[in-house]
Amino acid sequence: MENLIEELTAKNKEYIHSVTKQLILVGKSDEEVKEILNDILPQIIEGQKSGIIARKLLGAPTEFVTQYQPKVADRPVSEKNENPVLMWLDSSLLFLGFISLLNGVTALITSKAPVYGLITTILSAAVAGLVMYMMYRYFYRPKADNSRRTWNWKGFAATTLSVLLWIAVTIFSGLLPTSVNLQLPAIALVIVGLVAFGVRWLLKRQFNIQSALVAQPRR
């Protein structure tokens, strides 16, 4: 192969260099790269004799390498983690981040804005995460055979009870004295919200958690 490369013009050598880089980027091994180059080098050298450059003969390097990219169906699929505790935690952190950030930003804009106490915020986010998991488990999650889920009273009852629990927790925890249910300063709420989003992002990256807000298609 080296002997054939020496026969190339400067432009064609540059083309081969670019093709080699692109092949490596799409995951080809050294042996696979050599095999592909051995196939195209004679064509390029033959084209040189007629004044045809490699780019014109085979197309741009990225265009040429497209045919060697793995098909979507061949790419390894990373299965989402559907552990109930992790999914609940993922949803709870999402709500905790959203509620805290919304309360904090609103309080920064106007001092008259109502602010949830710390315990109310945490408990409300935790039960909201449970509601989202129940909805995913009984309505969003596809069945193993990819058939659509049918209506079931068990799922409806579980989801309804968790929603009622969410409402009750939010209301009754709000009745706690401020000495227990602390009201954090606006900037502290913003920080809590950002930290919650950050922790959620790290957990999803570490454990590949399936979001309860999105149905995971079965393969």
pLDDT in the model for residue 159: 83
**Residue 122 identity (one-letter amino acid):** I
Domain boundaries, the chain: 2-74, 84-207
Residues β-bridged to residue 81:
209
DSSP for 153-165 reads: HHHHHHHHHHHHH
Question: What is the residue-averaged pLDDT of the chain?
Answer: 83
Over range 98-106, report the average pLDDT: 91
Task: Give yes or no for residue 77 having a pLDDT over 60.
Answer: no
pLDDT in the model for residue 37: 86
pLDDT in the model for residue 174: 82
Under DSSP, is residue 168 helix (H, G, I), strand (E, B) or coil? helix
Does the predicted model carry a pTM greater than 0.75? no
DSSP for 175-214 reads: TS-TTTS----HHHHHHHHHHHHHHHHHHHHHH-BPPTTS
Dump pLDDT digits (tens) for 114-139. Answer: 778 889 999 999 999 999 998 888 87
Return the exposure string of 46-85: e unless at least 16 CB atoms fall within 10 Å of the residue's CB, then b: ebbeeeeebbebbeebeebbeeeeeeeeeeeeeebbeeee
pLDDT in the model for residue 111: 73
